[in-house]
Every structure is written in C-alpha cells, then in structure tokens.
Amino acid sequence: MRIIIALLSICLLLQFSVQAQSKEEKRVAAAVETYRAVLVNPDKVVLEKVLAEELSYGHPSGEVEGKTTVIEQLVSGSTDWLTIDLRNQTIQIAGKTALVRHRLAGKLNASENLEKVNLHVLLVWQKHRGQWQLLARQAVKI
C-alpha cells in the first residue's frame, strides 16, 4: 500500500511540474515554429519581430552574421530554404532565456544547386517585452 501511495504521489508531482513548465515551453516552441516557417517563406516583418537586434547567427562554416545580413539574405533569396524539418527538439528555460536544441534536416537552394542539409542546431532565445526572440544560433554539420 505504501508503494502505491508513493508512486501516486510521484506521478502527481511530476504532472504538476510538467504543467508548470509546459506553458512557457509551448510559447518557445511556437516561436521556433514561426522561425522555421519564416526561413522557408521569408517575410521581412516577421523576421524583424522574431530576431533580436543583437542576433549572433553562426553557420557550420564558422561564419557569423548579424540580424541585418540574415534578413537581407533570406528576403533576397540568396539563402533559399525549400524545406526544413526539425527533429529531437529539447527546450530548457532559465528565467528569460531559453535554450533550444534540435536536428535540422532540409533542402537549400544554394547558387542554383540543390543541397541537402543535416545540422545539429543550438538556438538561444530571450524574452523581450513578453515575446521570445532569437538571440543566437549555432549550427554544426552532421
């Protein structure tokens, strides 16, 4: 009987802790999805909102760009994502900062060559005026 009560207590505590975290994690996940969608279908207004002014955007090549350059490349089509699929995503929230890790598989039209992309990505999000904005991104090839 004690074991059953202990197990029920643990399950109840886990349920409350998951519910307490899931609301903000869902907001971060929604921001990540907005970001994924705007990479495939660039919209300057959406990009301005989702990317922080201080953005540090790291590519697997080691190149690091800021917000203005990232937006210009996406809107101009010089960076042309055809598809992006995110897998194995984890979200860890610490105050007004969220760390998101996932695997990105996609197709990128680079210099009129179709390129398959497989990356591990770390996204750092910050809560600014009630909205989650991408502060930093670093990707590595797999």
Sequential DSSP letters for 47-87 = HHHHEEEEEEEE-TTS-EE-HHHHHHHHHHTSSEEEEEEEE
User: Per the confidence metrics, is the pTM higher than 0.85?
Assistant: no
Q: Tell me whether residue 12 is in a domain.
A: no
Specify whether the CB–CB gap between 81 and 66 falls below 8 A.
no
| Two tokens, residue 86 | 């995110």
The whole-number pLDDT of residue 4 equals: 47
The pLDDT tens digits of the residues spanning 11-44 come to: 444 444 444 457 999 999 999 999 999 999 999 9
| Residue 8 located in a structural domain | no
Q: Looking at residue 110, what is its pLDDT?
A: 77
Range of 113's domain?
23-141
User: Could you say which residues of the chain have pLDDT below 50?
Assistant: 4-20
Domain count, the chain: 1
Q: Residue 104: which CATH number?
A: 3.10.450.50
Q: What pLDDT is attached to residue 1?
A: 52
Any idea what the Cα angle at residue 83 is, between residues 80 and 84, rounded to 5°?
A: 105
